[in-house]
Amino acid sequence: MTLLTVERIKLFSTRSPWWCMIIAVALTVGLTAIFSAATTSDDLDSLTPATTQFAYNFGLVVMMVMAALAVTTEYRFGTIRSTFLAVPGRTPALLAKTVVVAGLAGIVGEITAIASWALAKVIQPDAPLALDTSQEYRNVFGVGLIYLLAAVFAIGLALLIRHTAGAVVIMLVYLFLAESLLPVIPRIGDHIQDWLPFIVGNNFIVAGQSEVSDGPPVIEGLPFGPWGSLVYFAVVCLVLLAAGLVAAKRRDA
């Protein structure tokens, strides 16, 4: 508990987490509000719980950047040395940081998802926004789990790279380019797509959703169902975190 308290104090003693949380919530909820307000009475049937989460990836990226910064800024300013002197084993301190940062990301994810859905319901009370099925509950309440695991992914990557610019650039290139371009490779692209972590993780949110929905994109034919997709995504994130922990123990701070 002491390590968790220390990491919580360190995290909230800087401005970047506060700005990241504000931007993540404002960007995601704001885009949903604009979309909901622009929906005409003739198109109300298209405004569903899935649709209210169409912008969740924007906040997800912001929170992943926050998670990476929580690690790389300590290396940049040398404060990680004090942490490792206090906790020579290193792993408990880094795991405490992961719990605090990923937990915060998960909470922000839930706030953005629920706020987006609730605001859409307020703006368009006649739209079919009731949560009646397990898929609709996953569409809203499952977002926080993806945020949490994505933060673990970002922390693992940051422990491997250690430099802010490098970690953020690699993360953004992978998210916005690699997972978009690899599936279009002839002959093998479809097979690669089935195992890309964020595509599979997204399947936890969208599995069972109509392909014509305006919500997060649906990719048919993935090897796992919604919960299997979540487990696979979690395993990938934890493996990357384990690699980062090993690297942190072997290299000088």
Q: Cα 83 to the chain's mean position, in Å?
A: 26
Give CA angle at 64 (168, 217), nearest 5°. Answer: 105
Could you read off the pLDDT of 117-166 as tens digits, one per residue?
999 999 998 888 999 888 889 999 999 999 999 999 999 999 999 999 99
Q: How many domains does the chain contain in total? A: 1
Alpha-carbon distance of 242 to 247, in angstroms, equals: 9
User: Where in the sequence is the domain holding 119, given as residue range(s)?
Assistant: 2-250
DSSP string, 87-151: STT-HHHHHHHHHHHHHHHHHHHHHHHHHHHHHHHHH-TTSS----SHHHHHHHHTHHHHHHHHH
Are the C-beta atoms of residues 39 and 124 closer than 8 Å to each other?
yes
Global pTM value: 0.92
| 175, amino acid identity | L
Using pLDDT thresholds of 50, 70 and 90, give the confidence band for residue 211: low
